[in-house]
Amino acid sequence: MWSVVTPTILDGGVKIQTAHCRVINDGFDVSYALAWANICEVSYDDYQEIYGLDALAINNLDAVEVHLIRETGIEPSLDSYGRKITFRGDETHLLPPADGGANNIYGICHEMGHLVFPIADSHYFEAWADYAAAFRIIPYVWERLGADAWPQPYDYLVNDGPADLRQRIEDGIDREDMLGDHYRAVSVLISVDDAYGPQVIGQAILQTEAPLKLNNFVEALISVTGDQTVKELFAKGP
C-alpha cells in the first residue's frame, strides 16, 4: 500500500496523522485507518490541484479530521457534519462493494467535497459532491494510489469513477422523482465542467457570496467566465 503516514497511539485507539488529515481510529484494524488517512490526504491534495479549493482554509481547520467509530448492529453511516468526516459501522461495512461493503473510497472523496463547498441547495448539495468525487477526484486518487489504496484491493475507478457516474446519469436522469432531480443536477455540473473546466468552477466557488445558495454560485460563475449563457445550462437542471 502506498503510504504517507505514521501511526501513533492516542487514548487507547490509533491516531493517524498526515500533512493535512488526522484519523482517530476507534476499534478497527490499523490497516483501515491507514487507508482512510492516505485517501483523505490524496483527496485533500486533489481538490486543491483540480479546483484550487483548500478544505483547511475554507473551514479554518488545522487538519481534516476523520473519526472511525466501530459500532455493530447498525446501518453504516458516513457524514461530514461539524466540519469533520465520521464513519460508523463495523468491519463488514469496510469490505469492498463487491463483497457487501460500502463504497468507502468514493465516500471519503464525496465528503471532502462537502467540506470544500457546502452549497445550501436541496438538489445541488449532494449533486456537487457526487459530481466532484466521481468525475474528477476518484481518477486522481486511482492514479496516485491504485487498487492497493484499500486493504482488500479493488477497482474503484470502474466502480465509482466517471464511467459509472455517466451510467448512473443515463439510468436515472429521466425519472420523475428526487433521484431524477439529483442526476439532472449532476448532469448540469458536468456540462459546466465540460464548458469551462474545474479550475473555473473552483474560482467561482471561492467568489460565491454567503449564503452559499445556487443563485449566488451561478452569478459567481457568470462573473468568472463573463458568459451569461451559464444560466441556460442551469435551466436544464431541477
Q: What is the pLDDT of residue 1?
A: 44
Percentages helix, strand, coil for the chain, rounded to the nearest 5?
60, 15, 30
> What residue spans define the domains of the chain?
6-234
Q: What is the mean pLDDT of residues 5-24?
A: 75
Type of residue found at 131? Y
Task: Give residues with Cβ within 8 angstroms of 21, minimum separation 6.
Answer: 37, 40, 41, 44, 63, 64, 65, 66
Q: What is the pLDDT of residue 14?
A: 80
55 sits in which H/E element: helix 55-59
Architecture of domain 6-234: Orthogonal Bundle (1.10)
Q: What is the pLDDT of residue 128?
A: 98
Within 10 angstroms of residue 123's Cβ, the number of other Cβ atoms is 18
**Per DSSP, what are the bridge partners of residue 120?**
none
- Give the global pTM: 0.93
The helix/strand/coil state of 47 is: helix
Nearest residue to 132 (alpha-carbon basis) of 82, 85, 198: 198
Phi and psi at 211, nearest 5°, equal: -70, 155
Q: Percentage of residues in the chain with pLDDT exceeding 90?
A: 87
Asked if 174 and 180 count as a contact pair (C-beta separation under 8 A), the reply is yes
Q: Percentage of residues in the chain with pLDDT exceeding 70?
A: 95
Sign of the CA dihedral running 92, 79, 115, 181: positive
**Edge-to-edge strand list for the sheet holding 77-79:** 6-10, 13-17, 21-26, 64-70, 85-89, 77-79
Q: Can the peptide bond before residue 211 be classed as cis, meaning omega within 30 degrees of 0?
A: yes
Instruction: Give the 3-state DSSP-derived string for 145-183, with helices as H, strands as E and coil as C.
Output: HCHHHCCCCCCHHHHHCHHHHHHHHHHHCCCCCHHHHHH
Q: What is the pLDDT of residue 15?
A: 87
List, for residues 170-216, the tens digit of each pLDDT value: 999 999 999 999 999 999 999 999 999 999 999 999 999 888 999 99
Flag whether pLDDT at 232 surpasses 50: yes
